[in-house]
Amino acid sequence: MSFPIFLFGTLRHAPLRAAVLGSDCPAHPIQLAGFQVVEHAGYPVLSSQSGAVAEGLVLTPNADQLARLEFYEGLFGYSRHLITDEQEQSVYVYRPDTDPPLLDAAPWVLSDWVAVLGDAATLATADVMALRADYPADHLAIRYPMLLSHASARVRARAEHASTSLRRTAQPDDVVPVSTAHPYAYFFGVQSNDLRFRRFDGSLSPVVRRAAFLMSDAVTLLPYDPVRDCVLLVEQFRYGLYLRDAPNCWSIEAIAGRIDPGETPTEAALREAREEAGLELQSECLELIGQAYPSPGCVTECLFQFVALCDLPENDGAVNGLESEAEDIRRHVISFDRLMQLAQSGEAQNGPLLTSIFWLALHRERLRKP
């Protein structure tokens, strides 16, 4: 005897469900008596609750759709379980083998999740489903969070205004994709395209091959105390310097980090200030330097750069960072004059930091006015 599958969470969102299943599968609304859908770490969990009712969809997938669904749910550690509700209705649901603690959990609301992550999750899911033929599931389970971050950056980019006071005005047919490949996909990923692009004479180029490192968007933040005329910098080991055989792999930088899915650049900057430097800041203290692509020929990352006007602590050399990410980050509070010395001597080698230093030098007089 077969049982239908009950979808109670994000797969109730039709575009996401279509990306997972790959073909049409009728889904019908039903209710499960004696269950509720609650939030855990931003995502839905089905919890037993006498007298409650869980809203959802029921579907009966074909063999291919079921295989795709099993793969997708497995990325998050979910497996299929048979449950029976208070009305003796039996369905399969995807859930973890061990339920997380749900004391005082709030109801999970689909529309709230869709507003924040619906578009990005749909893009990321289409990407991960396209990779399943070429990469093992355990690799793609590690890859998915970064795919979601990259998808969030794509959603953000699509909403941005593209100024064209000097550069050409782009048209939808200016880039013609021919083929796409993903030669590497693990935590990070590489995408390669054969494509044609519009030349300045109006013709299309021959087919060319380009490859890029797929990244999320990121933020940098340079805290500045206008009263004491000092800044806070961070120092940490950097793997890229090690691979280049640099004589010193410890880098002086502004506070920096990736923008998490569902975060705004401002929220990410405030979070990173807390994690990397132990600073509790408010959004009102941030001055936007701008946004820029550090290496647009081969990296998708877009940086949102800020200066934070705030009171800074004494130079205590405190070490911060997330243990879960093996971060070991030392903070330095130094004078503006010392900051300029670092820029001129070459000890400050980090590109975004240099941009922030020069922006601060340009605006310092204004920022110091009472």
pLDDT at 48: 87
Q: Alpha-carbon distance 170 to 183, whole Å? A: 29
What residue segments make up the domains of the chain, in order of their start?
Answer: 5-124, 176-212, 218-368
Which helix (H) or strand (E) covers residue 45, if one does?
strand 43-59
Task: Write the single-letter amino acid at 216.
Answer: S
pLDDT at 1: 47
Ramachandran bin of 104, using left for φ above 0, alpha for ψ from -120 to 50, beta for the remaining angles: left
**236-258 per-residue burial string, b: 16 or more CB within 10 A, e: under 16:** bebeebeeeeeeeeebbbbbbbb
**Taking the model in full, what pTM does it have?**
0.92
Angle at 55 (CA atoms; ends 54, 58), nearest 5 degrees: 110
Q: Alpha-carbon distance 221 to 353, whole Å? A: 9
For 53, other C-beta atoms within 10 Å of its C-beta total: 14
pLDDT at 320: 84
Q: What is the largest CA-CA distance in the chain?
A: 77
Report phi then psi at 4, rounded to 5: -70, 165
How is 221-284 classified by DSSP, letter by letter?
EEEEETTTTEEEEEEEE-HHHHHTT-S--EEEE-EEEEPPTT--HHHHHHHHHHHHH-----GG
pLDDT at 324: 80
218-368: same fold as 5-124? no
pLDDT at 226: 97
Helix axes 14-21, 63-74, angle to 10 degrees: 110
pLDDT at 43: 87
Catalytic entry in 160, 325, 327, 347: 325
Architecture of domain 5-124: Roll (3.10)
The fold of 218-368 is Nucleoside Triphosphate Pyrophosphohydrolase (3.90.79)
Which helix (H) or strand (E) covers residue 73, if one does?
helix 63-74
325 annotated active-site: yes
Q: Alpha-carbon distance 109 to 111, whole Å? A: 6
Which helix (H) or strand (E) covers residue 69, if one does?
helix 63-74
Q: Alpha-carbon distance 220 to 256, whole Å? A: 4
Task: Please report, in tens digits, the pLDDT of each residue of the chain (370 residues total).
Answer: 467 999 999 999 999 999 999 999 999 999 999 999 998 888 899 988 889 999 999 999 999 999 999 999 999 999 999 999 999 999 999 998 877 766 678 899 999 999 999 999 999 999 999 999 999 999 999 999 999 999 999 999 999 999 999 999 999 999 999 999 999 999 999 999 999 999 999 999 999 999 999 999 999 999 999 999 999 999 999 999 999 999 999 999 999 999 999 999 999 999 999 999 999 999 999 999 999 999 999 999 999 999 999 999 998 888 888 888 888 899 999 999 999 999 999 999 999 999 999 999 999 999 998 8
Q: Which two tokens stand for residue 100?
A: 């997380």
pLDDT at 5: 96
